[in-house]
Amino acid sequence: MQAEIIARLDEIIKYLKPLLPLANCHLVNFITSRMWEVYIPDTIKKEVSSVKMEVFNTVFLQHAKGISVAELKGELAESIPNFVNFLDNARNMYLRGTSAKAIVTSLSDLQKKLSEWGYEYEENVHLEQFMTQKKVHEVEVMSQVVAALVNISHASHVVDVGGGKGYLSSILALRHGLRVLGVDASPVNTRGAARRTEKLEVWKMFVEYTTSVMLGAFSLVLESSALVWQTFVLPMQSH
């Protein structure tokens, strides 16, 4: 089993290695370093220049939903075959087979197992105003898993190595009440994470205050309704 997994990992690394400069580049570098000309295959560049971008968006979204090339509409797949082939090759780069299943666990299975171990999942906090939708999803999922592991293992601290802008560390500390040390090699990221944490602390206090006010108002409504019921409705029913 171990040999099969190692062989598969080597295959994935071989596929990713020539694409790493493109995958790791910043948007600015993509433009200034002319990444498009250097790393994008000529066949795909030709398709991009000759087909409407809506076609690429449609194919990509369908592909992301797990729809195979055979299931894609003929005209769409046939108009950009090289792009579709690139998506298929990328999708195939994962640990597969019975051996991989022994060490790779889906998120739903992991959450189920953590629940069996006694962790109760909390409702996610939506932070669209602080990060992109993609990053929100990543932070929500990861923070729940990390919080569960800390809870189950009774760990005292969490060390977020390569924490970047500090999104995960901030949520672990503010939402889950964990002691977190964020470490990153970039001073810019570290300073930005500190400023962002301050904003999140203010946001947390605002949410807690708003929730408290809303609960208070709701309690007042319930009390008023009960008073009206006891004062007017019940006497009328007794007559």
Q: 21-56, pLDDT tens digit by residue?
A: 888 888 888 888 888 888 888 999 999 888 888 888
**Looking at residue 37, what is its pLDDT?**
86
Residue 79 near residue 50, CB atoms below 8 Å:
no
Mean pLDDT of 117-138: 70
User: Which range has the worst mean pLDDT, 115-124, 128-137, 200-209?
Assistant: 200-209
pLDDT 10s digits, 161-220: 888 888 888 888 878 888 888 888 888 777 777 776 676 666 556 555 454 545 455 454
**Looking at residue 68, what is its pLDDT?**
61
- Mean pLDDT score across all residues of the chain: 75
Q: How far apart are CA 157 and CA 182, in angstroms?
A: 11
pLDDT 10s digits, 64-117: 776 665 566 566 667 888 888 888 888 888 766 555 666 677 778 888 888 887
Q: How far apart are CA 239 and CA 236, in angstroms?
A: 5
pTM to 2 decimals? 0.51
| Chain centroid to CA 49 | 32
CA atoms within 13 A on the CB side of 127: 28
Q: What is the DSSP string of 113-145?
A: HHHHTTPPPPPPPP-TTTS-HHHHHHHHHHHHH
* Helical axes 133-153 vs 107-116, angle rounded to 10°: 30
Nearest to 158 by CA among 143, 174, 178: 178
Q: How far apart are CA 2 and CA 103, in angstroms?
A: 10
